[in-house]
Amino acid sequence: MTDPVLHGYFRSSAAYRVRIALNLKGVAYTDAFHHLRKGEQRDPSYLAIQPQGLVPALEIDGVVLMQSGAICEYLDERFPEPPLLPGGVADRARVRAFVGVIACDTHPLQNLRVLERLREGGWDQAAVTGWARTVIEEGLAACAALLADGDGPYCFGDRVTLADLFLVPQLGNARRFGAAIPERLAAIEAACLALDAFRRAAPDRQPDAE
């Protein structure tokens, strides 16, 4: 297999999730960077690959995959070890629900595209930042509640799951906007960042980091 090509941007939390998954699976890959703040994701050559003009996209096995959740689950099926989802049906549903809180209800409301729309609508920077901070704090509060009865170093016990891959990048966003981080989530982040796969995927470790 030729190395997959990951289209991303160092600060994209969605691309960050996929970098972690690739690292955990031990899959070597080549980077293709698209500077989001310069609008490079809207270049026609990239739109031919990813018609939404979003990152990440992953070229692998002769196909182009988009949406970080779908990419991570593809990688989990294609490279089964270590698994990113637990064995039980209910346990898998719990992990996916946690992921959904971040991927569907939190991150999309504070990403670059939405914040640009708010600015275009006349919001000043303080209001935009306040919006992002509130959205993130509400999402993280829900995440913490979902984990209230659990134990272990990671979101769902003593093994990394897809939930951890989505949580850690979102906490990076939280700090950028000055959002409060629940203590339980901060402890999970620390456990994850002790792992090489997470450390190597961090935004400040990427070749395009600024």
Residue 98 and residue 69 share a domain: no
pLDDT band at 77 (very low <50, low <70, confident <90, very high): very high
Residue 125 and residue 143 share a domain: yes
Taking 90 as the threshold, does the pLDDT of residue 44 lie above it? yes
Please report whether residue 147 resides in a domain: yes
Taking 90 as the threshold, does the pLDDT of residue 111 lie above it? yes
Strand ordering across the sheet containing 63-66: 30-33, 5-8, 57-60, 63-66
Residue 20 and residue 112 share a domain: no
Taking 90 as the threshold, does the pLDDT of residue 97 lie above it? yes
Please report whether residue 101 resides in a domain: yes
Split into its structural domains, the chain has a count of 2
**Residue 117's domain is classified under what CATH number?**
1.20.1050.10
Q: Side-chain half-sphere of 145: how many Cα atoms within 13 Å?
A: 8
Residues 36, 112: Cα–Cα separation, whole Å: 8
Residue 101 and residue 67 share a domain: no
Residue 180 and residue 118 share a domain: yes
User: What are the tens digits of pLDDT across the range 126-154?
Assistant: 999 999 999 999 999 999 999 999 889 99
Range of the domain at 158: 89-195
**pTM (global) more than 0.85:** yes
Taking 90 as the threshold, does the pLDDT of residue 1 lie above it? no
Residue 165 and residue 124 share a domain: yes
**Residue 27's domain is classified under what CATH number?**
3.40.30.10
Taking 80 as the threshold, does the pLDDT of residue 208 lie above it? yes
Whole-number average pLDDT of the chain: 97
pLDDT band at 51 (very low <50, low <70, confident <90, very high): very high
Please report whether residue 40 resides in a domain: yes
H or E segment and range at residue 78: helix 68-78
Residue 121 and residue 31 share a domain: no
pLDDT band at 204 (very low <50, low <70, confident <90, very high): very high
